[in-house]
Amino acid sequence: MIPVTKPYLPSREKLDRYIDGIYEGQWLTNNGPLVQELTRRLEEYLGIENLLLVSNGTLALQIAYRALGISGSEAPAEAITTPFTFVATASSLKWAGVDPLFVDIDAETWCLDPALVESAITPLTRAIVPVHVFGNACDVEAIDELGRQHGLKVVYDASHAFGITYKGESLLKHGDAATLSFHATKLFHTGEGGAIIFKRKEDLERAKKMINFGITGPESIEEVGINAKMNEFQAAMGLCVLDEMEENLKARAAVWHRYEQALSQILQLQAKPEALDYNYAYFPVVFESEEQAVRVLDTLKENGVLARRYFYPSLENVACLNSQLEQPVSKDIASRILCLPIYAELALEVQSHVSHVIDAELKA
């Protein structure tokens, strides 16, 4: 069976050398030397500052909310976010005591529609949490300006946006914070892991305390904290994956462009701004109807190919998130979308098979 994605596994020989060093030094966690090295190298590679490594991408969001004062108060709070995303974007808010307030998406970019955000702001709104869906840039200028005008924090869920630049600069520089997921299925990964990029150093310093139980010394506790630290084995994997990033990107780009050539005339693709330098992390396509999308999904599976309905359902329809309003564009796109297999090792003949199955099914 051809999976929708596969973890990128770097050189075993290089990984073994890092692990040998961990055994020799016997420093397994608590801001070890490999975590420090990965922090420096990622800041350099991504062209950013104030990066904090954490143990997973969901905790990255939750630490960002608390460090920025969005959560942590007993007073009722809301954050405006998109319903077209992985559930962790919204559930991390809910878990932190902040109600997600869903606002619809743009029909072409599939990102949060800033034109709808202002009318959704209430006295309880503390933040805007947009998502760079599939690595596509939100309208960051408009959203950042809304945050400034209304005194709201802006936290970008940038889980899909590793390495992406917009107008020549890292997309991660926008907002008060941006978060990354380093889950095994992501373009860059540490097995499990994540990161937060803060605009302000003082927010970074507060978050550093939070991820280590609020402890600042042998006999000093300054924050209500949690354990969100990345360990040395995660960092070792990340360093190895980073070493081979350009090779991985080149292979994924070739797969992405072959899909684009084969399918762009018969299916709707995501619209991206010209100033975006993409990372080829996903290849989503939208069909004419939900019936057609489900039929293609089933036919692909019968032919040994796993596609996925990312992101289905639209989150306002998830009962535990307690949303009251339908978001028609998100609901429509979510019902008709499939993400196709994409990873560095995807063979040309396998990819041609995927495209052929889709084309044949559409003509049936």
Greatest C-alpha distance within the chain: 71
Between CA 111 and CA 307 the distance in angstroms is: 21
Residue 160 contacts by C-beta under 8 Å, 6 or more apart in sequence? 131, 132, 133, 134, 135, 186, 279, 281, 282
Between CA 312 and CA 317 the distance in angstroms is: 10
SS3 for 304?
Answer: coil
Peptide bond into 3 cis (omega under 30): no
Residue 168 contacts by C-beta under 8 Å, 6 or more apart in sequence? 275
Point out the catalytic residue in the list 186, 209, 229, 331: 186
Residue 19 contacts by C-beta under 8 Å, 6 or more apart in sequence? 233, 236
Mark whether 229 is an active-site residue: no
Q: What is the 3-state secondary structure (H, E, C) of 112-177?
A: ECHHHCHHHCCCCEEEEECECHHHCCCCHHHHHHHHHHHCCEEEEECCCCCCCEECCEEHHHCCCE
Between CA 288 and CA 73 the distance in angstroms is: 45
Question: Tokens 């199955």 — which residue?
Answer: 357
Active-site residues, by number, are 186
